[in-house]
Amino acid sequence: MFAILCVFIAGLNHDYYNCRSTSCLARICLRFWTHCLSISTLSDYLGPSFHGFEGKKKKVDIEHLLQYCFSARTVRKVHARLVVSGTLQSVYVSTRLINLYAHLGDLCFARKTFDNIPSRDSYTWNSMIAAYVRTGCSREALNCFSELVSSSQVPPDNYTFPPVLKVCENQIDGKKLHCLVLKLGFVWDVFVAASLIHMYSRFGFPADARNLFESMPFRDSPSWNAMISGYCLNGNLAEALNFVGKMRLGAINLDSVTIASILPVCAQVDDFLGGVLIHLYAIKHGLEHDVFVSNALINMYAKFSRLQLAENIFDKMFAKDLVSWNSIISAYEQNDNPVRAIELFREMKCHGFQPDVLTLVGLASSVAQLGDCQNSRLLHGFVLRRTYLMDSIIMGNAVLDMYAKLGLLDCAQKVFEDLSAKDIISWNTLITGYSQNGFASEAIDAFCKMESCEDTSPNQGTWVSVLPAYSYLGALQQGMKLHGRIIKMPFHLDTYVGTCLVDMYGKCGRLDAALSLFYEIPRISSIPWNAIISCHGIHGHGRVSLKLFQEMQRERVDPDHVTFLSLLSACSHSGLVDEGQWCFHVMQEEYGIRPSLKHYGCMVDLLGRAGLLEKAYEFIKGMTLRPDASIWGALLAACRIHGHIELAEFASDKLFAADSEHVGYYVLLSNIYANAGKWEGVNEMRSLASSRGLKKTPGWSSIEVNSKVDVFYTGNKSHPQVDRIYRELRIRTEEAKSLGYAPDYSFVLQDVEEDEKEHILSSHRQGVHLQSSTTPDHRSYEGG
């Protein structure tokens, strides 16, 4: 074998030695050496061949060969030979071994090597500390640093401080390190200074970082980058951008780090053009193929929903890493294309990448978007096996969010309870899950539990998650108490929190309060406009909704698809047929928004409610999308109002062909039959629904008295004061009748006598306005 090696080497033309053959040769040599040939023997045989090593005239030795160890296994073999040959006495060789082990991820052997060195020099200490930092063992790194300081073998030097500063845990320790740096005279080392700047920024002291930066006699681009990343950490995006500008004015080249830091800022401040200019700069300076730059570009383009641009970058990358795959997967996931996200996940696995926490976070969201309950459980199982749920709070929250979005609240609750640590986002996710699935009371319960936790305090997201629950119950007084608390907080004029408050006042009927609050919060996005337009529509003030829309146009705020849903619904509930049709036209022609099934549904409702049944039917026939159950349902509801049995039967055929699982439609058709006195049809619908295992959910209403919400629903008399309530109701009905009130019995859809009909109408009894919403329970809530 050795003879073959010699022939191979002799056959190489030394003038054309390329790196590949050098590397290959070195590895073969290593192999022989670990099999007990001495280095001098190797050198004697191969000497001339090695002089070509990377063009340097260097004597071959084991230290030189160490750089060709590409696996921890090889290093261990070399290590064993070094111990046998006695070469390990050299601090230099041992330190190199520590670094090799650390780079190959074998921290245990790095430490063993470190422990066995009789006298360590500064390189040894620095290498061991850096090894801990690189592998994320912060505590061990800090302990090692303390050991160095107390051992007095060698003092820490300028190479010691950067890694230690990177992992120090608080500003007080950071300050102590800064004092030591000053004492030892390393403050003007650019590496140490950049680390100090970053440390001060990390702990929220940007002024200290700035002072240090200003006092530096010489600044290189990493010093500037430390300032820029520091401003990003502290959320001062304007100053981060300002520093990039200053760098360019000072003729300091932006490097790949600057670009990777600033691209996310362009996305956050919604500056697409700025982002493209940075991209062009990267191309011009040959930086676009840097992995960090490419990844940052993918993420930026994804945030601007420019998926084609993101995918172009991804495709052109020479070397993709896990972050590249995670970025492109979440790009599709966040732009409502979960199918492509999952496809890319499969491709990623084919390329030999193992998913990490962030891959699975993106995947959990994709699975939720697809409504895929089966895969959600598979994902949960996978995450559990990898112990990610125990190790990562983000992963736990993502699984919780997945179950909440799928409406599997029991699973969500279980995941929440099993979380090894809960943060405010865990609570917010649970509260949002309840709130968005109609479990308002559970949402409020969870909020109250969160408030009783000492180590957790609500943030903006908490208010956004819990306020809709109060709106849902119409709990105005309790909502106002929350408003009272929010107003004292620095973010009380936040668009999202403000919009939730506007929505709460609006839904609870306080349109005046909703409107005055609306004019206090920022109105540059469509979000608050949608809320104020919608709540006026709900209460039948369609013309006000239209006026607000005109105001929105004057303020040059771009409406979105939700704005038009709110407008169409407002017009529908106010009988504004022409205005509704105008909105539908403007949406497409002026704003280029393609109508969704929801918009079509609103239009059918608008025409149908106004009695234009034929026109509504013609409208459905002209649709560019295939009508689903909701469209036929809207037509059916209109037929019910206007008693058009023939069209109702046609619509119901279409409806049940599209969706036979929605109980609301059975109830609707049953009510149509009842209205027409066709009681056999009513019975048929009821038995059909029950034979398919569908249960109707009762309608409900609520009232808030003295910050206490009472919920009533049909067929239930469990309220402790039920007798008093109905006595009062009878008195009020008599009073109303004496003033000329005549009950409209067409809403009583049961085959009973007139006096019974009146009783049904004036109480919460089964048969009146059956709804398919989720039923709240009838517990009461004390004000928070």
Among 358, 544, 668, 689, binds DNA (CB under 7 A): 358
Q: Least distance from C-beta 780 to DNA, angstroms?
A: 32
* Residue found under tokens 């109609």: 438
Regarding 225 and contact with DNA (CB under 7 A), the answer is yes
Q: CA nearest 620: which of 650, 644, 577, 582?
A: 650
Q: How many helices (H) and strands (E) does the chain have?
A: 44, 2
> Binding of DNA at residue 361 (CB under 7 A)?
yes
CB 34 within 8 A of CB 77: yes
DSSP 191-250: HHHHHHHHHHHHTT-HHHHHHHHHH-SS--HHHHHHHHHHHHHTT-HHHHHHHHHHHHHT
For DNA, the closer CB: 276 or 688: 276
Closest to DNA by CB, 74 vs 327, is: 327
Q: Contacting DNA (CB under 7 A), which of 195, 376, 465, 478? A: 195
**Minimum distance of DNA from residue 510's CB (angstroms):** 32
Cβ nearer to DNA, comparing 376 with 534: 376
Using CB under 7 A, pick the residue from 184, 190, 562, 688 that binds DNA: 190
Tokens of 133: 């930092």
The reply on whether position 601 binds DNA by CB under 7 A is no
Residue 162 C-beta: closest distance to DNA, Å: 3
Identify the residue among 323, 341, 360, 508 touching DNA (CB under 7 A).
Answer: 323
Give dist(CA 440, CA 438) in Å, integer.
Answer: 6
Site of tokens 């990448």: 353
37: contact with DNA by CB under 7 A: no
* 264 touches DNA (CB under 7 A): yes
Rounded distance, CA 113 to CA 97, Å? 7
Distance between CA atoms of 91 and 366, rounded to whole angstroms? Answer: 53
260 binds DNA (CB under 7 A): yes
Q: What backbone phi and psi angles, to 5 degrees, belong to 18?
A: -105, 170
> Which one of 237, 276, 357, 586 is in contact with DNA (CB under 7 A)?
357
Does position 122 bind DNA by CB under 7 A? yes
In whole angstroms, the minimum distance from the beta carbon of 167 to DNA comes to: 9
Nearer to DNA, 313 or 467 (CB): 313
Compute the chain's Rg from CA coordinates: 35
Task: State the minimum distance, in angstroms, from the CB of residue 364 to DNA.
Answer: 7
Please identify which residue in 258, 413, 462, 675 interacts with DNA, judged by CB under 7 A. 258
Residue 22 vs 326, nearer CB to DNA: 326
In the complex with DNA, which residue's Cβ is closer, 164 or 473? 164
How near is the Cβ of 263 to DNA at its closest, in Å? Answer: 7
Residues 367 to 396: which contact DNA by CB under 7 A? Answer: 392-394
Please, what is the minimum distance in Å from the beta carbon of residue 192 to DNA? Answer: 6
At 732, which amino acid appears? R
Side-chain half-sphere of 114: how many Cα atoms within 13 Å?
Answer: 25
- Indicate the SS3 state at residue 704: strand
Pair 197, 203: CB distance under 8 Å: no
What is the nearest approach in angstroms of DNA to the Cβ of residue 358? 4
Asked if 489 touches DNA (CB under 7 A), the answer is: no
Contacts of 731 (CB under 8 A, 6+ apart): none
| Minimum distance from residue 53 beta carbon to DNA (Å) | 13
Given 232, 409, 587, 682, the residue binding DNA (CB under 7 A): 232
Give CA–CA dist 96/116, Å, rounded. Answer: 14
Question: What is the 8-class DSSP label of residue 712?
Answer: E
CA distance 427 to 110: 42
- Residue 709's H or E segment, with its range, is strand 708-713
Instruction: Tell the smallest beta-carbon distance from residue 471 to DNA (Å).
Output: 22
CB of 423 to DNA, least distance (A): 5
Q: What span, in angstroms and rounded, lies between the C-alpha atoms of 451 and 431? A: 12
Considering only residues 237-256, where is the footprint of DNA by CB under 7 A? Answer: 255-256
3-state SS class at 37: coil
Separation CA 510–CA 72 (nearest Å): 70
Phi, psi of 709, deg, nearest 5: -100, 125
Alpha carbons 691 and 387: distance in angstroms, whole number? 44
Q: Which is nearer to DNA, 266 or 689 (CB)?
A: 266
Task: Return the residues of window 123-182 that contact DNA according to CB under 7 A.
Answer: 123-124, 126-127, 130, 133-134, 157-159, 162-163, 166
What minimum distance in Å lies between the beta carbon of 179 and DNA? 18
CB of 98 to DNA, least distance (A): 9
Nearer to DNA, 103 or 686 (CB): 103
What's the full length of the chain, in residues?
784
Question: Minimum Å distance from CB 757 to DNA?
Answer: 50
Contact 295, 260 (CB under 8 A): yes
Contact between 365 and DNA (CB under 7 A)? yes
Torsion of Cα atoms, 679 then 681 then 684 then 686, to 10°: -70
Residue 393 Cβ, how far from DNA at the closest point, in Å? 4
Between 12 and 137, name the residue whose CB sits nearer to DNA. Answer: 137
Closest to DNA by CB, 258 or 652: 258
Q: Shortest gap between Cβ of 530 and DNA (angstroms)?
A: 22
Residue 71, Cβ neighbours under 10 Å: how many?
Answer: 11
Angle at 310 between CA 304 and CA 312, to 5 degrees: 145
> Of 37, 91, 384, 489, which lies in the binding site for DNA, with binding defined by CB under 7 A?
91
Indicate whether 583 belongs to the interface with DNA (CB under 7 A): no
Q: Which of 12, 37, 184, 322 is in the footprint of DNA by CB under 7 A?
A: 322
Q: Does residue 559 touch DNA according to CB under 7 A?
A: no
Please give the DSSP secondary-structure letter assigned to residue 697. Answer: B
Query: Would you say 96 and 78 are in contact if contact means Cβ atoms under 8 Å apart?
Result: no
Applying CB under 7 A, the span of 36-44, 105-113, 358-366, 487-495 interacting with DNA comes to 358-366
Window 495-534: contact mask with DNA (x via CB under 7 A):
----------------------------------------
Which window, 122-130, 203-211, 524-532, 656-664, contacts DNA (CB under 7 A)? 122-130
Instruction: Number of residues interacting with DNA: please give it, by CB under 7 A.
Output: 76
Nearest residue (CB) to DNA, 10 versus 280: 280
Q: Give the nearer residue to DNA in terms of CB position, either 93 or 606.
A: 93
670 binds DNA (CB under 7 A): no
Q: Are 144 and 129 in contact (CB under 8 A)?
A: yes
- CB-wise, 49 or 225, nearer to DNA? 225
**Two structure tokens written together for 119:** 């006298």
Site for DNA in 395-454 (CB under 7 A): 397-398, 401, 423, 425-426, 429
Please, what is the minimum distance in Å from the beta carbon of residue 389 to DNA?
12
Residue among 426 and 630 whose Cβ is closer to DNA: 426
CA 302 to chain centre: 13
Give the three-state DSSP class for 711: strand
Distance set, CA 783 to CA 10, 445, 471, 493 (Å): 90, 11, 14, 24
- 198: contact with DNA by CB under 7 A: yes
Cα separation, 673 vs 681, in Å, equals: 6
Strand partners, 708: 705
Nearer to DNA, 100 or 639 (CB): 100
